Amino acid sequence: MTSLLRTAPRALRTATLTSRAIPLIHQQFRLKHDHLNPPEGNPAVTGRSPPEPPREEAIALKNNTLSGSYLGTTRRLPEFNLNDKVVLVTGAARGLGLVQSEALLEAGATVYALDRLEEPSADFYRVQKRAAEELGTTLHYRQIDVRDVPQLNEIIQSISESQGKMDGLITAAGIQQETSALDYSQKDANMMLEVNVTGTLMAAQAVAKEMIRHGRGGSIAMIASMSGSVANKGLICPVYNASKAGVLQLARNLAMEWGIHGIRVNTISPGYIVTAMVEELFIKYPERRHDWPTQNMLGKLSQPGEYRGAGVFLISDASSFMTGSDLKIDGGHTAW
């Protein structure tokens, strides 16, 4: 098998590895790596300051050919450092939620990923392993559907008790359905709103209660969408768009109510993101791969990694005077 792969055309080797090797790799990870008992890095410690700049910085500052910038140390934008923070991310078993989790880990946070999947994606294990071995922190996993409010509350309270703090939340759990308004069923509409709006509220509520109990304040960032501000041309998603508009308004009201407790609430409104789900959509609607980039000012589609900095910014003290605001990252789609 190995020799055949070596002599096969590159495209065939790639297709073979994609279709056969990835499930095998996932299975091997499951045998050796329990996502519920992750490899651990340094725990979150209250009051711990950012790390001192590395010794290499002093050398680099004397050598004009090397970079002298080390973000997140005592000398370089320490307000971005999350080394003493405990942050939850819903919908983080894969996709945008997992990308946000990895960025938070890189900034030093201890992260708890919450998702309804019994087993997270194969890439989750890579991030979990990297957190402990390269980043000195820990990525935990808790299986929960945001619609199961009693269990959601129990899990969040348990995390708060075990860590002795609760500092941040990114709500990335959400579902999408492309159905015309004339064809939408009550059941499907209710499910969309229950996950995207009520689920977001319930997660934020549970986290806010723990933040208030610990008396340290905190920051909540909700993944909304540019679709909460405009009707997407040619994309028939009336209830999804309404749900994201609901997230925008929900965040403003929570910011108003919880500001007195030092809790900030903001939203991120992404444009079109090329995810595995969207790639499958392009197979069904190939014209969208060409049409969607023409609808924004940059003439391209975004990648999940282009939103990494936004989540870290909103959770960190770098945005300490920002609340009730929406951070649009849509390539100028809604600014025409």
The residues annotated as belonging to the active site are 240, 244
- Whole-angstrom Cα distance, residue 210 to residue 47? 18
* Helix ranges restricted to H, the chain: 2-7, 10-16, 22-32, 55-61, 95-106, 122-133, 149-163, 186-193, 199-214, 238-258, 276-284, 287-291, 308-315
Token readout for 240 is 């999804």
Q: Are 138 and 132 in contact (CB under 8 A)?
A: yes
CA distance 170 to 221: 5
Evaluate whether 176 touches 222 at the Cβ level (below 8 Å): no
For residues 103 and 139, give the distance between their C-alpha atoms in angstroms, rounded to a whole number: 11
The distance in angstroms from the start CA to the end CA of the chain is 54
